[in-house]
Structure 1
Amino acid sequence: MQATLTPIAARLSLIAATGLLAACSSMGPAPAPVSQDSLPDPIKVPAGNRLAWETTTVGGEITYECRDKAAAPGQTEWVFVGPKAELKDRAGKTVGRYYGPPATWEALDGSRLTATQLAVAPSGAGNLPYQLVKANPATGSGALSGVTYIQRVALKGGVAPAAECGTANRGQRATVGYQADYLFWKAL
């Protein structure tokens, strides 16, 4: 037996289908795969790994503190203290966070990891450098389980503040904004 819709039900069904199609089309095309060819050699991920998770952060923060230079008594400099950012997927949904020290990536599913920096490369004036890190084993099971490497790419901002750092403001902290993509890789 075939069910028939009343005119009102048919109209509501058509409106719902149209809304669903509009929502899907507004998401835009899926992001293009990240090309390792366009990145500096020191931060390329070794062969034998595949891109497993892409995240982005806009509105991230890097905190610096005005401190004495380690090798130059009486001189001061802005020293990196730590990051704080929400990790979002390409649709803008929050999927985790990044914070430190130590540098820690944590997914909303509870998986979490730290990593060891392997290499950096310049990414343009006023921007943090590109970065490649080797992931330590993740805690918890989820998106970060099995991650081998993390790349920081698509950078804007984040460098030490332009404000003076001197003996008068030793100990002062300053926060600067940045954005970046964090790409998580797993072994094949």
Structure 2
Amino acid sequence: MRAKRGICNLERIDSRALVRDKAREFPFVLGQPLYVGSTQVNINPVAIRRSPLRPPTIAAASAAIVISGLQPAPSASSVDEIDFTRPSPDLRGRSAMPSRSPTRDMLLALAASLYCAAFTAPAHADEAAGLAPPEPATPVLSTTASGMQVYACEYDAGHRLAWAFQYPEALLFDAGGTLVVRHGAGPSWEALDGSRVTGKKLAEAPGTHPGSVPQLLLAATPAATGTLAGVRFVQRLDTAGGTPPATTCTTEHAVGRFPYFARYVFLK
């Protein structure tokens, strides 16, 4: 697969909001490439401006995101995951703010780059040709999502342990980078104004990247008022990631969370 490049403007990203909204969204791995399914996401360095009076902000005008199909993801046991919702170990017992640690700065940059990666992934409209609504419908909201597909380790019909899909968790952003919808179990989509729709799958197509969740067309139960009022269909397009590793799980009821990106289009 040929590498695909895109440029994302970082000037408008509020790093503090980014940390608040995304700290629990991704298993960040410091110093190692991020894998989305079998796709490796290489993130170029992003400059960070630090101030003793406030949390760091993204200073770079833009950053290049390179998404290229490479080797399969390493097993979970081969990487060290970092939880940056806790203070960095090298700052415990000191007066400095946790947000000023080098580790946290790098994770802020990584979070911003992941945020941008969803916007720079190429569209594959032709691959979603079979996902048109069965009746005329007009797009009213197009969003880019980043989040997790959540699985549980359960016994299948053959009494073998395997990952079983449970529910999605994702944040949906409009073209300006503003959070507009939260996606969760049901599946459901809830706008910030409280309007909410649930969906029922009508059709699916293969994901646009190897090892990705499928693209979907869903019928929606329309909300009466608000941002999602009158929405009758939801499309999940341009998916990347979200599938469990090929290796089987070994502990019953264990939970696995696998990052994914997608576009969600809401139609009336």
Does structure 2 retain, via aligned residues, the 8 Å contact 1:127–1:159?
yes
User: 2:182: which partner in 1?
Assistant: 97
- Tell me the SS of whatever aligns to 1:151: strand
Give the Cα separation in 2 of the matches to 1:63 and 1:162.
15
User: Identity over the aligned pairs, expressed in percent?
Assistant: 34
> Is 1:44 aligned with 2:128?
no
More displaced 10-residue stretch of structure 1: 127-136 or 152-161: 152-161
- Tell me the SS of whatever aligns to 2:229: coil
Of 252, 260, 267, the match for 1:170: 252
Give the Cα separation in 2 of the matches to 1:126 and 1:87.
21
User: 2:190: which partner in 1?
Assistant: 106
How far off its partner does 1:118 sit?
0.5
The 1:75–1:106 alpha-carbon spacing in structure 2 relative to 1, beyond 3 Å, is: same
Give unmatched runs, 5+ long, in structure 1: 1-22
How far off its partner does 1:36 sit?
9.3
How far off its partner does 1:170 sit?
1.2
Higher strand share: 1
User: 1:181: which partner in 2?
Assistant: 263
How far off its partner does 1:109 sit?
1.2
1:113 alignment partner AA = V
Give the Cα separation in 1 of the matches to 2:168 and 2:176.
23
- The superposition leaves residues 140-161 of structure 1 with CA deviations (integer Å, 9 ceiling, x where unpaired) of 5111111111000011100123
Does structure 1 retain, via aligned residues, the 8 Å contact 2:128–2:237?
no
- Tell me the SS of whatever aligns to 2:130: helix
Of 213, 218, 232, the match for 1:133: 218
Matches within 5 A, 1:14-163: 38-58=126-146, 60-69=147-156, 71-72=157-158, 74-100=159-185, 102-123=186-207, 124-138=209-223, 140-163=224-247
- Tell me the SS of whatever aligns to 2:189: strand
User: 2:99: which partner in 1?
Assistant: none
Give the Cα separation in 2 of the matches to 1:143 and 1:117.
21
2:143 alignment partner AA = T
- The superposition leaves residues 4-27 of structure 1 with CA deviations (integer Å, 9 ceiling, x where unpaired) of xxxxxxxxxxxxxxxxxxx9xx9x
Does structure 2 retain, via aligned residues, the 8 Å contact 1:110–1:141?
no
- Tell me the SS of whatever aligns to 1:143: coil
2:258 alignment partner AA = V
Bigger Rg over Cα: 1
How high is the TM-score relative to the length of structure 1?
0.72
How far off its partner does 1:45 sit?
2.2
The 1:40–1:56 alpha-carbon spacing in structure 2 relative to 1, beyond 3 Å, is: closer
2:190 alignment partner AA = E
1:135 alignment partner AA = A
Give the Cα separation in 2 of the matches to 1:37 and 1:159.
22
How high is the TM-score relative to the length of structure 2?
0.51
Does structure 2 retain, via aligned residues, the 8 Å contact 1:132–1:149?
yes
Give the Cα separation in 2 of the matches to 1:148 and 1:87.
18
RMSD: 2.4
Bigger relative contact order, structure 1 or 2, given CA contacts below 8 A and separation 6+? 1
The 1:171–1:41 alpha-carbon spacing in structure 2 relative to 1, beyond 3 Å, is: same
Does structure 2 retain, via aligned residues, the 8 Å contact 1:36–1:44?
no
Aligned residues: 149
User: 1:3: which partner in 2?
Assistant: none
